[in-house]
């Protein structure tokens, strides 16, 4: 026997909101069977009323031009927020809805990254469902995998390719040999990158998602400020070419590690061996890798953004709310959340790729090697190429496992050598 419908009120009919409205309409029958009850869109809020007709879902859906008005009036079982932005109306809607005891679903990673701890507290107090599967890695059900599928594991590491714009740019740079600036301009023309690309290419979007993954993996509060964030602007076509020669690909990665000292959560571009699966996660795809003490190495790959994949994740949350599969927002109850000391990136021990721009004259390699040796850093491989037009040549080195602080000390000294013509480029290597 079918139960009564589960009613959905949708705030925001942009790309993702439109996708959710379409999904609820097109998959009506399978959703009802899989959830044991119909899932019905009953209300929608957007500044543009025409959008509802455009989506072909206006029948029996009450329109509001203000999401807060909708919240006040609706008897929906869940409020779905797809307006976006860390603050403003999205945040107000969320707090008001939770305080009113409404189930809440959002795709808003910025809001969770900035206000997740506070929102978790309200949701727990009010005992309501709070879903945000779509906030990390789009269509990949990775929050569910971490919280439920891997529930029996202590997670020691979590890595993510979490930004499709960066991954697309790095993929095209590798495939075409073109420069960052050129590929970015093309991506902007094609609509794959924003007019102001900073949010994506400087790693901020990845950091938002990474601090959520870190909290879920390690049971700590969400702490955006704990992250050191590097984007991909500094990756040159030379680095891409040398990475290929050394058997690596370059990816912008979120890197989270739990050790006895504490937790290290960072975002940086790094080199990954081409023999590993994640190196082949190209273009608009996202990937999340976890290391659990029982399950070992796991990887989850899928589309990280876009109307339909994000709608898929939003609707997974709606289905969980409809069937009562709820969980505390941060996996464990807030009384069990533990603040962990932050291990700075300078304590990272790992391999490194270095690129120097040097004069092509005798003694340069010896000078650089001597400084590295004095800082206790040892060279794993070296590539030297012929003269460029300007008499400057690239000198490439990879380092055996070294402490980042020592590498940085060495690079600061090397930069001051007379035969070194530019600031050295350093890219971390991760063997995933």
210 binds a second copy (CB under 8 A): no
Distance CA 25, CA 13 (A): 14
CA angle 107/120/73 to nearest 5° reads 65
355 sits in which H/E element: strand 349-359
140 binds a second copy (CB under 8 A): yes
Q: How far is the CB of 65 from a second copy (least distance, A)?
A: 27
176 binds a second copy (CB under 8 A): no
302 binds a second copy (CB under 8 A): yes
Rounded to 5 degrees, φ, ψ at 118 are: -65, -45
Residues contacting a second copy: total by CB under 8 A = 61
Choose the binding region for a second copy from 247-255, 272-280, 373-381, 408-416 (rule: CB under 8 A): 272-280
333 binds a second copy (CB under 8 A): yes
Choose the binding region for a second copy from 24-32, 74-82, 224-232, 391-399 (rule: CB under 8 A): 24-32
Number of neighbouring beta carbons within 10 Å of residue 407: 24
412 sits in which H/E element: helix 404-415
Rounded to 5 degrees, φ, ψ at 424 are: -65, 150
Closest CA to 317 of 46, 74, 112, 57: 112
Locus of tokens 């040097």: 358
Q: How far is the CB of 296 from a second copy (least distance, A)?
A: 5
Report whether 411 contacts 366 (CB < 8 A): no
294 binds a second copy (CB under 8 A): yes
Choose the binding region for a second copy from 41-49, 108-116, 326-334, 339-347 (rule: CB under 8 A): 326-334
Report whether 104 contacts 131 (CB < 8 A): yes
In the set 31, 232, 329, 377, which binds a second copy (CB under 8 A)? 31
Q: How far is the CB of 176 from a second copy (least distance, A)?
A: 16
Rounded to 5 degrees, φ, ψ at 403 are: -85, 135
23 binds a second copy (CB under 8 A): yes
219 binds a second copy (CB under 8 A): yes
In the set 35, 98, 305, 396, which binds a second copy (CB under 8 A)? 35
* Tokens standing for residue 247: 């058997």
Q: How far is the CB of 335 from a second copy (least distance, A)?
A: 9
Active site residue 109: no
Cβ distance to a second copy smaller for residue 245 or 293: 293
Report whether 43 contacts 9 (CB < 8 A): yes
In the set 3, 33, 234, 415, which binds a second copy (CB under 8 A)? 33
List the catalytic residue out of 102, 109, 144, 209: 209
In the set 297, 387, 423, 431, which binds a second copy (CB under 8 A)? 297
CA angle 413/417/423 to nearest 5° reads 70
Q: How far is the CB of 307 from a second copy (least distance, A)?
A: 9
Q: How far is residue 394 from each of residues 37, 190, 384, 427, measured CA to CA in Å?
A: 64, 33, 7, 15
Distance CA 53, CA 20 (A): 15
| Footprint of a second copy (CB under 8 A) | 19, 23, 27, 30-31, 33-36, 133, 139-141, 144-145, 147-154, 219, 275-281, 285, 292-303, 308-309, 311-313, 315-316, 319-320, 323-325, 327, 331-333, 336
Enumerate the active-site residues. Answer: 209
């Amino acid at each position: 026997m079918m139960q009564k419908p589960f009613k959905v009120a949708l705030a925001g009919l942009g790309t993702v909101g439109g996708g959710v409205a379409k999904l609820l309409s097109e998959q009506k029958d399978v959703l009802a069977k899989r959830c044991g009850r119909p899932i019905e869109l009953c209300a929608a809020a957007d500044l543009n009323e025409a959008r509802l007709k455009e989506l072909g879902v206006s029948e029996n859906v009450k329109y509001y031009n203000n999401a807060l008005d909708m919240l006040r009036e609706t008897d929906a079982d869940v409020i779905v927020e797809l307006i976006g932005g860390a603050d403003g109306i999205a945040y107000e809607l969320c707090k008001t809805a939770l305080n009113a005891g409404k189930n809440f679903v959002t795709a808003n990673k910025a809001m969770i990254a900035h206000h997740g701890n506070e929102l978790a507290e309200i949701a727990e107090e009010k005992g309501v469902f709070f879903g945000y599967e779509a906030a990390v890695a789009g269509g990949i059900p990775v929050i569910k995998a971490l919280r439920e599928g891997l529930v029996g594991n202590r997670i020691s590491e979590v890595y993510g390719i979490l930004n499709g714009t960066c991954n697309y740019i790095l993929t095209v740079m590798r495939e075409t040999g073109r420069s960052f600036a050129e590929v970015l301009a093309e991506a902007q023309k094609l609509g794959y990158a924003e007019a102001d690309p900073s949010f994506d290419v400087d790693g901020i979007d990845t950091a938002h998602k990474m601090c959520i993954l870190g909290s879920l993996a390690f049971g700590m509060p969400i702490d955006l400020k704990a992250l050191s964030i590097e984007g991909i602007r500094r990756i040159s076509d030379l680095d891409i070419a040398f990475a290929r020669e050394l058997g690596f690909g370059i990816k912008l990665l979120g890197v989270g590690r739990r050790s006895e000292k504490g937790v290290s959560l960072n975002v940086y571009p790094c080199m990954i061996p081409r023999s590993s699966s994640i190196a082949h996660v190209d273009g608009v795809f996202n990937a999340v890798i976890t290391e659990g003490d029982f399950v070992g190495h796991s990887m989850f790959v899928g589309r990280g953004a876009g109307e339909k994949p994000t709608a898929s994740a939003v609707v997974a949350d709606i289905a969980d709310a409809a069937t009562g599969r709820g969980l505390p927002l941060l996996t464990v109850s807030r009384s069990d959340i533990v603040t962990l000391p932050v291990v700075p990136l300078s304590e990272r021990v790992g391999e490194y790729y270095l690129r120097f721009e040097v004069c092509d004259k005798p003694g340069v390699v010896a000078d650089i090697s001597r400084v590295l040796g004095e800082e206790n850093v040892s060279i794993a491989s070296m590539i030297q190429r012929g003269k460029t037009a300007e008499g400057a040549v690239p000198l490439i080195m990879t380092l055996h496992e070294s402490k980042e602080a020592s590498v940085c000390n060495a690079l600061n000294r090397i930069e001051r050598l007379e035969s070194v013509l530019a600031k050295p480029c350093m890219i971390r290597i991760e063997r995933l």
